Amino acid sequence: MKDYRSLYIGKERHKFSAAHFTIFSATERERLHGHNYTVSARFLAPMGDNGFSADYNVYKNRLSTLCDELDEYMLLAANSPHQQIREDGDYYRVIFNGEEMLFLKSDTLLLPLRNATVEEFAGYLLQKLVALSTGEDLKEIELFVASGPGQRAGALWRSN
Ligand SMILES: Nc1nc2c(c(=O)[nH]1)N=C([C@H](O)[C@H](O)COP(=O)(O)OP(=O)(O)OP(=O)(O)O)CN2
């Protein structure tokens, strides 16, 4: 039976500051606000005969790249069933429950998410991390996003 080891990565720099609002229903959402989100991950890799599994420097750098891509933006969920997003010149016009919000495109990332939640951010970042890790001998990757101390969501990928 293969011998595996878990590598846990979650450095101080694995974070992104972003604005968002969570939508709870067709008529309820929270006000626009922000968090310093932190990102961490667990990698399950086979143990080599040399007592080494996988170079975690590679994964530290990948997590930093993913965090940098989301840092200091307004994050909008493009696939929410409860809001419409239209392009309007230099702006995104967001319609929710009869209200309109305008966000500068240069300040905003439209992400393929159903909601701007930690669980959706975790799934989104996991897919990007798995795509960066193709062809490597990994058994599992579990990626976590926390919106503050003591509250995070995890998304899991397992190799076939
Ligand atoms: N399942 C989820 N539930 C909630 C999410 C989420 O992403 N997934 N997000 C929110 C809000 O964004 C809310 O702002 C969360 O932050 P909050 O709990 O206020 O964070 P704090 O760090 O201020 O927590 P305190 O307990 O107030 O210290 C709500 N639900």
Model confidence pLDDT, tens digit, residues 116-152: 999 999 999 999 999 999 889 999 999 999 999 999 9
User: Which ligand 1 atom is nearest residue 117's CA?
Assistant: 7
Q: How far apart are the first and last CA of the chain?
A: 16
What distance in angstroms lies between residue 80's CA and the mean position of ligand 1's atoms? 18
Question: In total, how many domains does the chain have?
Answer: 1
Tokens of 8: 């846990």
Hunting for tokens 């039976």 — which residue is that?
Answer: 1
- Within a domain: residue 23? yes
Domain-embedded: residue 108? no
- pTM summary value: 0.95
Q: For residue 54, what are the domain limits?
A: 4-78+116-158
Domain assignment of residue 18, yes or no:
yes
Which CATH number fits the domain that encloses residue 52?
3.30.479.10
Q: How far is the CA of 97 from the centre of ligand 1 (A)?
A: 21
Helices and strands (H, E) in the chain, number of each type: 2, 10
- Identify the pLDDT of residue 51: 93
Q: Does a structural domain hold residue 128? A: yes
Instruction: Give me the pLDDT at residue 25, please.
Output: 98
Residue 87 lies in a domain: no
29: in domain: yes
Which two structure tokens, joined as six digits, stand for 14?
């694995």
